Structures are given as C-alpha cells and as structure tokens.
Amino acid sequence: EPARSKLSAALVKGWSGPVPGVGQRWLYLGAASGTTASHLADLVGPNGRVFALERSLRPFARLLALAGRWPALEPVLADAREERGYAALVPPVDGVYADIAQADQVDIVRANAALYLRGPGSAVLLALKTASMGRDASAPEHVRRAERDLERDLDLDPSVRLDPFHKGHYLLGGRAVPSLFRDRPAASPTPRPARLPGRSRS
C-alpha cells in the first residue's frame, strides 16, 4: 500500500537500505493510527515487537484497536521529544523508524536512536517531511542538510524520494556507527506513560 505507508512507498521506489526483519524489535516514532506500524509488525512477525509511539489521543485510540489484530504491536502513548520518558517500556531495539512532521525531526530520531538502539550496526529509518523543515531552502537542500547531519552517526544508504505517493517526503536511513552512542546516558527511573493494558514486552 505505497499510498498509505511511506515505508511501502520507499520499497516500491527502490529503497535498498535496512528494513525490519523477522524476530526483531523496532521503535516506531509517530505511529499515528498504525498503518505503517502494522506493516512493520508483519515484517518482524509474532516473535518480534514494534513499540509504536504516538502522542495524540485520537490516533492512539485507533492504534490500540489495531494492536488487537497484530500481536507484535505494542502501542505507547508518549512524546518522542521526551525520549527518556518511556525508557521503562521500551527495551533495546534493532531499529528505529521515525515519521514525525517536525522541524527538528532529525534531532528527535537521533536522540531516540542513541538511547534505544542495541549498538553499532542497528538500523535507523527516517521518513523526512521537508515541508516541516522551513521555507529557507528547497526540498532537495533540506534532504542534503539532513544527510550531512545524520552521516556523522550513521552509515547512510542512498535516500529515496517518495513522490508521487507522498509529496515532499524522502526516506533516509542506514546503520548506526559507534559515534552515535558516545553520549549515551546511564539508565535512571522514569515515569511510565500509558500502554495497552495486559501486553507483554517479551
């Protein structure tokens, strides 16, 4: 469903970088009502987990309903900007997928990746919305800036433009290198945001 899922669109457009694999754990930032999150859940299978983060109540309610049909899907009600606030709910993961239409989306995904990824070689995928990054530059220039920013901490794969399925969006990503984890903070007790009751993190 490339018109409904940016990851599906990227695969149709020739994305050659990492994707979720069977049995893996992924953190999804900006899961909304769960269309792409359910696709990630299909990819990781019943023995994997997708920790699907959404901060808005209305789409989160739909995400909860969707989780009843995808056992691998673990909804988390929290703000991706407050990455330490859900540390009690999200274990180390194999990959981070982000779809957050914010001007600082690159910084948000980097902060979460540095905290939650298992270590070097883990995957990061960012569905970059260039319209959210300001009007001071063209879409291609915003992509170049994001790539320059990310390549300090990721071994990047070639980005993919998602038009015509998602106007002004690009998929960026690659695998983490050791520099991403240089400032990883020590774990500390954190508040517990809402999650689907009765679901296990195993």
d(CA 117, CA 169): 24
In a domain, 28, yes or no: yes
Judge whether 22 lies within some domain: yes
Residue 194 domain flag: no
Give 28-43 pLDDT, tens digit per residue: 999 998 889 999 999 9
CATH number at residue 29: 3.40.50.150
Residue 190 maps to a domain: no
Is 191 inside a domain boundary? Answer: no
Q: Domain of 122?
A: 6-181
Decide if pLDDT at 27 tops 90: yes
Percent of the chain surpassing pLDDT 90:
77
| Confidence band for 196, pLDDT divided at 50, 70 and 90 | low
Q: How far apart are CA 61 and CA 189, in angstroms?
A: 27
Is the pLDDT at 159 greater than 80? The verdict is: yes
The per-residue pLDDT for 194 is: 53
Q: How does pLDDT run across 46-63, given as a tens digit for each residue?
A: 999 999 999 999 999 999
Say if CB 173 and CB 19 are below 8 A apart.
no
Cα dihedral 183, 187, 189, 193 sign: positive
Number of domains in the chain: 1
Over residues 161-179, mean pLDDT = 95
Any domain includes 195: no
Per residue in 130-146, pLDDT (tens digit) is 878 777 778 889 999 99
Task: Output the CA–CA distances (angstroms, integers) from residue 171 to 91, 97, 99, 151, in the order listed.
Answer: 25, 10, 10, 14
pTM over 0.95: no
Looking at the domain assignment, is residue 196 inside a domain? no
Confidence of residue 185 (pLDDT cuts 50, 70, 90): low
Residue 85: count of CB within 10 angstroms of its CB: 16
Instruction: Note whether residue 133 is domain-resident.
Output: yes
